Amino acid sequence: MANSQSPPVAVGEEYEVEALRQNDDGDGVAQIRGMTVFIPFLLPGERARVRVERVEKRFARARVLERANDALDRVEPQCPVFARCGGCQVQHMAYAAQLAWKEARIRRMAERLGLDASVVRPIEAARTPYRYRNQVQMPVRWNEATQRAEMGFFAFGSHEMAVTETCLLVSEAMDDVLRRARWFLTSLGPTATFAHHVIVRQSRATGDMAVVFALTADDPSLKRSVGRFHAPQVAQVAVTVQPRAHGPVWGAAVEVCKGATHLEERVGGLRLRLSPRAFFQVQSDMAERMYAHVVRAAEVRETDVVIDAYCGIGAMTLLMANRAARAVGVDEVEDAIQDARANAKLNRVGNAEFAVDRVERWLPRFVQAGNRADVLVFDPPRKGVDRAVIEAAAEANVERLVYVSCNPATLERDLRLLMARGFYVAEMQPFDMFPQTSHVECVVALRRG
């Protein structure tokens, strides 16, 4: 018999459960003998026979063996590798239910922060919940037995590959290029073992695509071979050398082997040059709507000095510069800032400047040097902003701050800190930048007061 210290459930045990709610990863949550159990792909109200697969101190994970009923929100997932690929978590939910679930998460965050429910606006839905992504990174491996290159996606938190030729989140033209890249690597023979990822990005404006082969070896003849890849609408072929096949995908540099040096995208009336290594929002249409919202939320006036921290290729910097006295964009990626400077010229924006730096270094210096700023825009990566950035924002004496976040957990942490330093939340606008996944984007307008 289990003693009082041992967990109430054990790996391999089977139970009949009902999911009571959904956690932020999209998993169903049930209670078994007083323990919280997370069950992927089980929706609230659904009952199932499950097997416990992992037991931690405070929770366990279980897998559905047989589902007894279907929730009203359940739909048939469209992708053949859904549940095996780690990319999508909620294809089994109707799109309207995905939206409601994401909006509710932002509402719960507002509640925990002690905010009035009226600050949260209804979530902005994607125009197309499938085939919306403008970029994809597909792992590749060489199959010794079949002597073919295989592509697919890694399962969540593992390097086990779900082999597939298609991703329903990208355009059909991108799917076609991925297929051709796999045939091409197969045609190279075992030398293709050096390829570990194929990255494809497509411009919404021109339809042109850039294809980057990520290789483990810096081999000139392999690079020459890769340069022979061609497919309809592919305007650029490049390589990046990243010796570790499991870890970061990109190497230190990207070498264009063939074609254009950049793609061109158009957003919010701007022409934007886009290098392979520079970040760009994955859904161009939603990016356009979100940028327009950020400019409105920042209430940019013509005497304002605006700081766009984590600016990427400078799209928001330029949109705000058009209404301000001066705009400064900062990003740590040199290629992105080169694009941003070129984009300022391309769009004849004369009052935008850019710096290659880490925001946590640049912003405190900017503020301590006594420079004026009226508006701050933060659009950090998933880990949120550094403590030094919060302190600098508090000292900067800005009236308006707009925080663009792709991770509600770090957003909540950072909002709590900003609120403790004299900012209040005026509005929260969620955007469904990543349909079929558990991710949600949110733009928060803060004011000093």
Q: Which residues bind ligand SAM (CB under 6 A)?
A: 279-281, 310-312, 315-316, 330-333, 336, 358-360, 379-381
Alpha helices in 324-373 (DSSP H): 334-346, 359-368
Contacts for 34 with CB less than 8 Å, ≥ 6 apart? 8
Give the shortest CB-281-to-ligand SAM separation in angstroms.
5
Strand residue runs (E) in 216-325? 234-241, 254-259, 263-267, 270-274, 305-309
DSSP state of 360: H
CB atoms within 10 A of CB 433: 22
- 167: DSSP letter: -
27 labelled binding-site residue: no
Check the annotation: does 310 bind a ligand.
Answer: yes
The residue number with the shortest CB distance to ligand SAM is: 312
Adjacency order of strands within the sheet including 59-67:
14-18, 47-55, 59-67, 35-39, 28-32, 21-22
332 dihedral zone (left: phi>0; alpha: psi -120 to 50; beta): alpha
d(CA 24, CA 85) in angstroms, rounded, equals 18
Beta carbons within 8 Å of 328's beta carbon, 6+ residues apart: 305, 306, 307, 308, 317, 352, 353, 354, 355, 366
CA nearest to 256, candidates 369, 139, 335: 335
Q: How far apart are CA 286 and CA 300, in angstroms?
A: 21
Cα separation, 192 vs 184, in Å, equals 9
Considering beta carbons, is residue 48 or 319 the nearer one to ligand SAM?
Answer: 319
Query: Judged by CB, which is closer to ligand SAM: 121, or 358?
Result: 358
257 is catalytic: no
Residues in the chain: 449
Name the minimum Å distance from CB 214 to ligand SAM: 18
CB of 319 to ligand SAM, least distance (A): 10
SS3 assignment, position 65: strand
Closest CB to ligand SAM among residues 40, 435: 435
- Nearest CB to ligand SAM, comparing residues 62 and 311: 311
User: Cβ of residue 55: shortest distance to ligand SAM, in angstroms?
Assistant: 36
Q: Which of 79, 311, 406, 442 is catalytic?
A: 406
Residue 402 forms beta bridges with which residues?
377, 445
Question: Any binding-site annotation on 281?
Answer: yes
Closer residue to ligand SAM (CB): 15 or 250: 250
**Do the Cβ atoms of 192 and 142 come closer than 8 Å?**
yes
Q: Which of 240, 244, 237 shows the shortest CA–CA distance to 252?
A: 240
Residue 30 or residue 404: which is nearer to ligand SAM going by CB? 404
**Least separation, in Å, of the C-beta of 261 and ligand SAM?**
19
Structure token pair of residue 66: 């047989």
Q: CB of 83: closest distance to ligand SAM in angstroms?
A: 28
Binding region for S-adenosyl-L-methionine: 281, 310, 331, 379
Binding region: 281, 310, 331, 379
Instruction: Give catalytic residues, as residue numbers.
Output: 406
